[in-house]
Amino acid sequence: MSSSFGTTNLRGVKRFFSFPNPVNDAAARSVAIGVVTMATIALVSGQGWVLIPLTYGFLARVATGPTMSPLGQFAVRVAAPRLKKWEKFVPGPPKRFAQTIGLAFCIVTDWVTLSSGFGTAKWILVPLIIAASLEGFAGFCVGCTIFGWGIRAGWVPESVCLECGDLRARYAASGHPNDTSA
């Protein structure tokens, strides 16, 4: 009986620390718009404390998908159901990778803030704002594109996401006019 109880607990933990696959693109784009908003507020106002919820949000989404992320919960429960024109389901692993890149930018910004001050660190947010703007407003996921390149280069096993290796087919299927072969 104890082994069954242990197995059940492990399954629950594994489910808690999982990332959805597939992901509703409307929710992903909503999260990106929230990131643009928070990072832009931090950059323009010089309020470094905004890094706390920004970093936490990325950490929560990398670890648990939208489960522990207030912005993720808002995106899934409030924004995405109202954005039907953006609704399509896309592979989860590239979206998790993109969230990990965002987390890396936030950690570097946090570290530079602690060592040199937010006046220096805030400029690290600019590429994050650009990438999140592309995702949120144009539906182009920079991290997902890099993930696809990683699969094509053999750095990421294709078994992680079978539909991610052929970016041109993925964009054509979604109706996106992008050509990433260059």
Tokens of 152: 């094509």
Q: Find out whether 92 and 21 touch, Cβ atoms under 8 Å.
A: yes
Confidence (pLDDT) at 15: 73
CB distance 39 to 132 below 8 Å? yes
> What is the secondary structure of 102-143 as a DSSP string?
HHHHHHHHHHHHHHH-HHHHGGGHHHHHHHHHIIIII---HH
Q: Where are the domains of the chain?
A: 21-140
Q: Which amino acid is at 141?
A: C
Distances from the Cα of 146 to the Cα of 93, 149, 167, angstroms:
12, 5, 10
For the chain, where are the alpha helices, taking DSSP H only?
2-16, 25-45, 51-64, 70-74, 92-116, 118-121, 125-133, 142-153, 167-174
pLDDT at 43: 97
∠ CA 22-23-27 to the nearest 5 degrees?
A: 165
- Helix (H), strand (E) at residue 24: strand 23-24
Question: How remote is the C-alpha of 30 from its chain's centroid?
Answer: 11
The amino acid at 109 = T
Site of tokens 């994050």: 128
Note down pLDDT in tens along the chain; length 182 residues.
445 555 666 666 667 778 888 999 999 999 999 999 999 999 999 999 999 999 999 999 999 999 999 999 999 999 999 999 999 999 999 999 999 999 999 999 999 999 999 999 999 999 999 999 999 999 999 999 999 999 989 999 888 888 876 656 656 666 665 544 44
Q: Evaluate whether 72 touches 66 at the Cβ level (below 8 Å).
A: yes
